[in-house]
Amino acid sequence: MRRFSRAAVTAAVATAVVTGTAGWASDTAQRPVTGPPPGTEAWRSDRSLGRALPDPGSASPGEVAAFFKNLTEVQRQRLSARHPFVVGNLDGAPVSLRYRANALARGALGSGSDGRQILVYDPRGRGQLAEVFGDLARARRVAVVVPGSDIDAGTFDRTREMARSLYEAANDPGDRDGGAASPDRASSGAWTGAGDDRAEDGPANAVNPKDTSNIGNTGKAGKAASPEDTGTGHAGRTLTAGRTPDSRTADGRTPDSRTTEGRTGKDSAGSVPAGNGPNGTVAVIAWAGYTTPVGVGLDAAAGDLAEAGAERLARFTRGVAATGAARPALFCHSYGSVVCGLAAERAGATDIVALGSPGMRADTVADLHTGARVWAAKAPSDWISKVPNVEFAGLGHGTDPTAPEFGARRVPAGDTAGHAGYFAPGTSSLRAFASIARGAAR
């Protein structure tokens, strides 16, 4: 009873803090973008192939991958040209085809085509984006950066820079874990950076949100790539570097998944994009694919946006896996760790890293119901430490993932500055993240 009373008092204090800001934050309440991508009705009506196309609202990523695998290149091109907003956001569609479709979609809304590898482009609401650094088809490892509050198409640069920093660190030929960081003195000492010889290797354009209900025929299609394996890539058990959890290879792929897409290490235009060449073996995705909270308010203390985001994240990771890419490691910042916590059971991740986390809506690692290795980092100067770690009446996100009772592996962050410095070059946190992304950390 005393424990319950203490939690109730703490929750009441947290609620008072949050609602005390509601006077200025009430107009920032967000409605999550859900459902199939814009242009879906035109896609559903399309009978150009003599049959119905897979429904974006109900077809699984594996079914989508199988559909595209049975098409000719010309058929893929035509569908991409006719329905760029659908193909560009259709989980399970070939990665390079999505890049091309999103280039067409961005051009249609005036954002231009700059050779970037855009895997998600949804202009609804505040806009959602995902961008890839590296070659998903050839990479032995994949990492996904999941951001927290205040991230959308207009502020995507913040997440993009986190992902770029991780991509460069994970593929740095001069740092192959020989100089991995020692455990933070404040941590449980669980960090080990072990060598792994298998691990080789401009500002974002803001979306102008507009009504996309009538989006249909737009642009021209380039040459489409072949889709790959249709496996979903669910995590089966905790991974140890160098061992395979099931029929997949040591890099997390199915044996037959390394097919034609991306063999040349080139983008859709046939040239190697800056910073995305074929030499790196860790591909990193900056994923701003959900509606995030804005400012300090009830949205940030509640789980509604995280629940909607978790659905989108789990489907996104299954879609990437369905093309034959390696299973991902998730790097989840701030409110993004709430999203990852709710998606953990379905995301098929090898590792889940919570950094600057207010909680993952779980009391312990076991409550996440995942075979992924779970890591946690919190800087000494991170203001997130002032957030009460409770969950009561729908507010708050539960146990601090860095607390010993949670059971996560601690990542050193003693030299990390504040809430936004975890990916800063030269920090022990970034070195640790790079080792985790390479599959070398244990």
**For residue 343, pLDDT beyond 50:** yes
> Cα angle vertex 408, ends 403, 409, to 5°?
110
Average pLDDT over residues 305-322: 98
Q: How confident is residue 392, by pLDDT bands cut at 50, 70 and 90? A: confident
Average pLDDT over residues 328-354: 98
What local confidence, expressed as pLDDT, does residue 276 receive?
44
What single letter denotes the amino acid at residue 419? H
**For residue 278, pLDDT beyond 60:** no
- Edge-first strand order for the sheet with 351-355 is 118-122, 128-133, 282-288, 141-146, 328-333, 351-355, 373-377, 409-410
DSSP per-residue string spanning 240-271: -TT--SSSS-TTS--TT---STTTT---TTSS
What local confidence, expressed as pLDDT, does residue 115 receive?
81
**For residue 378, pLDDT beyond 60:** yes
- What the block records as the tokens of 176 is 């192959």
- What the block records as the tokens of 319 is 């879609």
Rounded CA separation 441/439 (Å)? 6
Question: What is the Cα Rg of the chain in Å?
Answer: 21
**For residue 246, pLDDT beyond 70:** no
For 315, other C-beta atoms within 10 Å of its C-beta total 18
Rounded CA separation 200/380 (Å)? 32
What local confidence, expressed as pLDDT, does residue 398 receive?
92
Q: How far is CA 34 from CA 30, 127, 294, 343, in A?
A: 12, 12, 17, 15
Least confident of 5-19, 269-283, 307-321: 5-19
pLDDT in tens, 32-80: 999 999 999 999 999 999 999 999 999 999 999 999 999 999 999 999 9
Residue matched to tokens 């449980």: 188
Least confident of 6-15, 237-246, 395-404, 431-440: 237-246
Least confident of 116-130, 235-249, 419-433: 235-249
Across all residues in the chain, what is the average pLDDT?
78
Report which of residues 29 and 179 the model is more confident about: 29
pLDDT in tens, 115-137: 899 999 999 999 999 999 999 99
Report which of residues 156 and 3 the model is more confident about: 156
DSSP per-residue string spanning 32-63: ---SSPTTHHHHHH--TTSSPPPPTTT--HHH
Least confident of 31-40, 222-231, 346-355, 416-425: 222-231
Report which of residues 232 and 326 the model is more confident about: 326
Taking phi first (over 0 means left), then psi (-120 to 50 degrees means alpha), and beta for anything else, what does residue 407 get? left
Q: How confident is residue 112, by pLDDT bands cut at 50, 70 and 90? A: low
Query: Residue 309: is it exposed, middle or buried by C-beta count within 10 angstroms (0-12/13-18/19+)?
Result: buried
Give pTM, 2 decimals.
0.76
* Residue among 143, 107, 102, 93 at smallest CA distance from 120: 102
pLDDT in tens, 154-195: 999 999 999 999 999 999 987 765 444 333 433 344 444 443
What local confidence, expressed as pLDDT, does residue 327 receive?
97
Q: Which residues, at least 6 apart from 257, have a Cβ–Cβ distance to it below 8 Å?
A: 228, 229, 231, 324, 325
Asked if residue 142 lies in contact with residue 285, where contact means CB atoms within 8 angstroms, the answer is yes
For 52, other C-beta atoms within 10 Å of its C-beta total 11
Least confident of 77-86, 182-191, 331-340: 182-191
Q: Which long-range contacts (CB under 8 A, 24 or more apart) does 112-120 make?
A: 112/205, 114/202, 114/205, 115/267, 115/269, 115/271, 115/273, 116/273, 117/267, 117/273, 117/276, 118/88, 119/95, 119/285, 119/320, 120/88, 120/89, 120/287, 120/289, 120/316
Average pLDDT over residues 298-307: 93
- What the block records as the tokens of 142 is 């994949």
Average pLDDT over residues 200-222: 34
**For residue 275, pLDDT beyond 80:** no
For 409, other C-beta atoms within 10 Å of its C-beta total 23
Rounded CA separation 405/146 (Å)? 24
What local confidence, expressed as pLDDT, does residue 149 receive?
96
Rounded CA separation 209/230 (Å)? 33
**For residue 26, pLDDT beyond 50:** no
What local confidence, expressed as pLDDT, does residue 235 receive?
31
Rounded CA separation 175/117 (Å)? 26
Percent of the chain with pLDDT over 70: 69
Average pLDDT over residues 391-413: 92
Query: How remote is the C-alpha of 158 from its chain's centroid?
Result: 14
DSSP per-residue string spanning 223-239: PPPPP---------S--
Q: How confident is residue 376, by pLDDT bands cut at 50, 70 and 90? A: very high
Query: How remote is the C-alpha of 429 from its chain's centroid?
Result: 19
Residue matched to tokens 């199988």: 66
Q: Which range scores top for mean pLDDT: 2-11, 182-191, 271-280, 303-312?
A: 303-312
Q: How far is CA 69 from CA 50, 169, 295, in A?
A: 17, 34, 43
Q: Which residues, at least 6 apart from 205, have a Cβ–Cβ distance to it below 8 Å?
A: 106, 111, 112, 114
